[in-house]
Amino acid sequence: MKLTRRILMAAAAGSFLFSGTAAMAQTELSFWSWRQEDKAFYQDMIKQFQEKNPGITVKFETFAPENYQTILSTALAAGRGPDVIQVRAYGNLETIATPGYLLPLDKQNVPELANFPESALAAETLRSDGKVYAVPFATQAQLVVYNKKIFQDAGLTPPKTWDELMKAAETLKAKNITPFANGTATAWQNETIVGGLLSSMLGKDFEADIVSGKANFTDPRFVNALAKLKDVSQYFSPNFTGVDYPSSQQLFAAGRAAMFAGGSYEIANFKKQNPSLDLGVFPAPVLKAGDQALVATYYDGGYAVNAKSDNKDAALKFVRFLATPEYGTAFTNTLKNLSPIKGIKIEDPITQEVAKLADNSMSYLMLVRFRYQEPSGSVLLQSNVQKMLAGQQTPEQAAAEINKGIATYYKPFQK
């Protein structure tokens, strides 16, 4: 009996040691993001991933958007940082990919890259080596969001031409309704206003001419579009030059303004603040009937792997999960934010509208083309449009200043 008891005790101890070893073998991944408002969604997705991969746990941590890039860059430069990183795209990607902080991705270590259009992968590609460094996570469109009830009560339909937009705004103002909630005190909002309202007027040909150097930003097409923006600003939020981004959001979400020129990413936030809102979207109005209506699109970052991670295999498994149509479908339908993954199923009607509009687009020009060097095209556009709308510059002067800054490094403008 004593011998049997000893054998059983030894077996139990062995079992305990084995289970302890198994527990120690668990891999914990750290995952950083600036998307604080999406935390519940990511925690749910992490739970689903962990159920399919019981040997891996993921700790999700968020930081304030305005501080995120600095915190991340500092950690990576010190050889630390998270295993999986939500990164920006275009020029902001290059700042952390160029020093070698990110693991290159290809269709061998992430076969799911085949689920993305080439334009999305290009946004997460380092220009100097042509390698992809992140799995794209969202397609954003700059357009006009409108309150359907306000439009219906005022007897209006979404305007298609610029003249129709101006008439609609005048009708709303005559009824003591603020036509646009937008303010211009927050600098970056001036760029979203340009994308949301002027894309159709500028057009794909203008973008092609700018990229090739056939035209620059003193082109009449750009100057005239800025002049139209100056005209419509009379219908922005009262005292709009002093109205910041949160205030303009609150004005629209409260149902006290009819339109908001900005990104498709605003929709979920507006609905969260006021679930009773019945919203619609329309593209930037065309200058004349028959012109192509466009929205301005860009890819809003991606998921990358830290090149110095001790858990690269597990991190790649997680990134591959974030590149599946199943994940993209959940992302789109939960966050009302369009995933670029092919084969997703969109349930939300307004997100379906955004997806349809995104089929006819030009680039969100400064972000996609001119945010790689200093002075950034985005900063130039934001600051000079802000001054123009405040009456401190003419459209011609704003265009000239924008062009002057970009010409310091953009060779096609130096001819």
Q: pLDDT for 270-280, tens place per residue?
A: 999 999 999 99
Query: 291 pLDDT exceeds 90?
Result: yes
Quote the mean pLDDT of the chain. 94
Is residue 171 exposed (0-12), middle (13-18) or buried (19+ Cβ within 10 Å)? middle
End-to-end Cα separation, the chain, in angstroms: 97
Predicted confidence (pLDDT) at residue 6 exceeds the cutoff of 80: no
Q: Which two tokens stand for residue 54?
A: 């019981």
Mean pLDDT of 63-83: 96
Number of H helices, E strands in the chain: 17, 11
What's the pLDDT at 11?
A: 47
Measure CA 63 to chain center. 16
DSSP string, 289-321: TTSPPBEEEEE--EEEEBTT-TTHHHHHHHHHH
Assign domain 140-298+363-414 to its CATH architecture. Answer: 3-Layer(aba) Sandwich (3.40)
Determine the pLDDT at residue 415.
Answer: 80
- Residue 187 in this model has a pLDDT that exceeds 70: yes
- Region 14-38: what's the mean pLDDT? 73
Class of domain 27-138+300-323: alpha beta
Beta carbons within 8 Å of 74's beta carbon, 6+ residues apart: none
- The whole-number average pLDDT for the span 240-259 is 98
Given the structure tokens 């130039």, which residue do they identify? 380
Nearest C-alpha neighbor of 362 from the set 154, 222, 180, 152: 222
Check if the beta carbon of residue 63 is closer than 8 Å to that of residue 270. no
DSSP secondary structure letter of residue 375: S
Q: How confident is the model at residue 307 (pLDDT cuts 50, 70, 90)?
A: very high
> Looking at residues 75-90, what average pLDDT do you find?
97
Does residue 86 sit in helix, strand or coil?
strand
Per-residue pLDDT at 33: 98
The predicted model scores a pTM of 0.91
Residue 1 has pLDDT above 60, yes or no: no
- Residues 366 and 190 sit within 8 Å (Cβ to Cβ): no
Domain boundaries defined on the chain: 27-138+300-323, 140-298+363-414
* Least-confidence region, from 23-27, 64-68, 284-288, 358-362: 23-27
The answer to whether residue 63 scores a pLDDT higher than 50 is yes
Percent of the chain exceeding pLDDT 70 equals 94
Q: For residue range 116-141, what is the model confidence (pLDDT) as tens digits?
A: 999 999 999 999 999 999 999 999 99
> How confident is the model over 232-247, as a mean pLDDT?
98
Q: What is the pLDDT of residues 323-335, one digit of tens each?
A: 999 999 999 999 9
Average pLDDT estimate for 14-43: 77
Q: If you average pLDDT over residues 203-211, what whole number do you get?
A: 98
**Alpha helix positions (H), 98-215:** 118-123, 148-153, 162-174, 187-212
What is the rounded average pLDDT of the residues 83-106? 97
